[in-house]
Amino acid sequence: MTNTSPNIAVICGGVGAARFLRGLVRVAEPANISAIINVADDMVLHGLAISPDIDTITYTLADAIDPERGWGLRDETWRAMEALGRYGDRNWFSLGDQDIATHLQRTARLAEGATLTEVTAEIAAAWDVDVRLLPVTNDPVSTRVTRADTDEEISFQEYFVGTQHSVPISRVRFDGIDAARLTPEATAAIEAADVVVIAPSNPVVSIAPVLDVPGVRDALAASGGPCVAISPIVGGEALKGPAANMLHELGLDASATGVAQLWSDVIDVLVIDDVDAAHSLAVARAGVTPYVTDTIMASPVRSSALARSVLSASLLKQGSTT
């Protein structure tokens, strides 16, 4: 690692982004990496300010994430949640005892007037995380999902955790996003990036509410560097979570080609999995350079290999077919 390590801005959701970053820090200088993180899943629950994607990334980079669940802290206990059961069914959203401390700290600092950007940096520092973790905005943005079966609009967490994303959806919107301001820190990180990466996160509810914050696309255009996305859809399925179902239910193509079409105005290169090699031509026809490799981050070593591939793929921008 040298000072000539590129400045990299990574557009992030939660688990997929966290695993990618865990690999990226092994092949690039962590201090030169900025994670621009989705906040539309954030919520206030029982008074606690909760930022699921920020916490997943922080805990993963701290090597403190629970490896089985993929969220929350390892060696966690659930005494508070068990006790909450006495009062009824309010424990649908599980908060581990140690994890609660993070939410208490965030809630307290926000009440003291700190911005989410400041709190996030403080918490990251407490975990010795040297990647810059930047919420895309300090303003409230809230993903709202319309159930196709009942036409009821519910919060993302009610959909994702409450129903275990088992119900069909007809619409997704991001409440507050038009008034949200891209932070100065995130603006600067994107504009200064030699490479922008879109992490393999849910396109509908993780990446869209970052890209749709006013100013993000302008900052991406200003950066001048290549923008490389990693397809979160592999073989027509999401590796984790409801991304493929959501794309399908919203009338979009749940495939590597569909992802290229979705992001063709933003990305130069799409990294697709070996199993999707047959999509290369269609990706190119969408105006995006395909780069085929193994994208399954089954281990930190595989995450590093993918990160190295992404940096290689970023060099393809000049030769992209449009």
**Which residues of the chain form contacts with a copy of itself (CB under 8 A)?**
44-49, 73, 77, 79-84, 86-88, 90, 97-105, 107-108, 111, 122-123, 126-127
Do 153 and 144 form a contact (C-beta atoms < 8 A)? Answer: yes
Q: How far is the CB of 131 from a copy of itself (least distance, A)?
A: 18
Q: CA 219, 224, 225 angle in degrees (round to 5)?
A: 105
Nearest approach, Cβ of 69 to a copy of itself (angstroms)? 17
Nearer to a copy of itself, 98 or 320 (CB): 98
Which one, 123 or 311, has the nearer CB to a copy of itself?
A: 123
Tell me whether strands 48-50 and 132-135 are parallel, antiparallel or unpaired: unpaired
Q: Least distance in Å: CB of 173 to a copy of itself? A: 23
Task: Take residue 80 and report the two structure tokens written for it.
Answer: 């508070």
Largest Cα separation within the chain, whole Å, is 62
Site of tokens 């403190």? 64
What are the φ and ψ backbone dihedral angles of 310, each rounded to 5 degrees? -65, -40
Q: How far is the CB of 59 from a copy of itself (least distance, A)?
A: 12
Structure tokens belonging to residue 40: 């539309």
Written as one letter, the residue type at 298 is A
Nearer to a copy of itself, 101 or 278 (CB): 101
CA 246 to chain centre: 16
| Nearer CB in complex with a copy of itself: 89/149 | 89
Nearer to a copy of itself, 82 or 218 (CB): 82
Q: If you ran DSSP here, which 8-state letter would residue 260 be given?
A: H
* Residue 180 Cβ vs a copy of itself, minimum distance, rounded to whole Å: 22
- Dihedral, 58, 61, 62, 68 alpha carbons, nearest 10: 90
Smallest distance from a copy of itself to CB 126, Å: 5
Complex with a copy of itself: residue 35 or 95, whichever CB lies closer: 95
